[in-house]
Amino acid sequence: MFSIVSQVNLPSASQRSGPRRRPIDAIMHGFWNACEQLGTFGINVATQIADVAAVLSGTVFLACRPSSWTPPVRNVFSRQMLFTSVDSIPAAMRFAAVVGVMGIVQAVMWIDAAGLSPSEVAPILWRSVVREIAPLLACLVVIGRSGIAISAELATMHADGEIEVIDSQGIDPMTYLVMPRVVSVMISVFCLAIITAVTIMVTGYLIGSSVGAIRVTWNEFYGEVSRNFERGDLVFFTSKTLVAGGFAGVICCLEGVRSSGRLTDVPRVASRAGIRALTAIFAISAILSVLFYEKLLVFKFG
């Protein structure tokens, strides 16, 4: 029996795996697979951006309609403003104070390395703080404190069936749930960015003057800062805070509404919403800076 089996011509390993591909075919196969994956990734990103932009435009449209602001919607908006903006002020000021101290440390390094005079620290701080640091820090505070909570709240409501109940009662979930939360996030980011910028400048001056990095009076420092104020900075600051806040609010709301409907998925939804919102605001900040100032570095020495 064994001799009969051994005489059968069994296919070799290469024959069992089929015809061997030429190296050029393997390379082209890998290239087209990479193109397919890259195209799928690009389409997914473009679809997500289009969804967020559509919801954001719908939110702005509803917010401009006085009939949308019914008493229940105003109640939701006021509670969200209290939680997102007012309650976040101490945390924003603490973070801003730390950033102000670190900014002065960097200013001292710039003075020693670049041979700058102390009076030149003010415009550098103004441009870096108002254009970049304050809006970004305000977005981080709002997302970390309120954005994740919004996604978790909506995901829990979805799991409990509250959103379906609201929809069955003839109440538009977009008007009642999404619009007041997104608008409150936009306004909160704008207000907290102003508070953050002022706190950074005041803390930076106090620490800088105490360590000798800034040797001018407050009036001279404030005068130097105010002379660097440009009308374009106000436009850039307002558009950046509102757009970044709007995208962050919409992403957190969509992640909560689109959850699987299981309570066990609520922590995962909240974490994913926070990561995507942070990714969005960093991308928006970079894109707006490049588009508005037409350069990657928004300030230069001299």
pLDDT tens digits for range 78-111: 999 999 889 989 999 998 888 878 876 676 666 6
pLDDT digits 0-9 by tens, 178-233? 999 999 999 999 999 999 988 988 887 787 777 766 677 777 777 777 777 777 77
3-state class of 29 per DSSP? helix
Packing angle between helix 23-63 and helix 179-211, nearest 10 degrees?
100
Report the pLDDT averaged over residues 16-33: 73
Half-sphere exposure of 98 (CA within 13 A, CB side): 6
Question: Phi and psi of 22, rounded to 5°?
Answer: -70, 155
The pLDDT value given to residue 152: 92
The pLDDT value given to residue 299: 44
Q: Model pTM?
A: 0.79
The pLDDT value given to residue 250: 93
The pLDDT value given to residue 3: 46
The overall average pLDDT reported for the chain is 81
Per-residue pLDDT for 117 more than 50?
yes
Q: How confident is the model at residue 73 (pLDDT cuts 50, 70, 90)?
A: very high
The pLDDT value given to residue 167: 87
Report the pLDDT averaged over residues 239-267: 88
The pLDDT value given to residue 112: 65
- Which range is least confidently modeled, 9-13, 258-262, 282-286? 9-13
CA separation for the pair 196, 262 (Å, rounded): 38
Q: How far is CA 269 from CA 39, 53, 281, in A?
A: 26, 20, 18
Helices (H), 115-178: 121-128, 134-142, 148-160, 162-168, 173
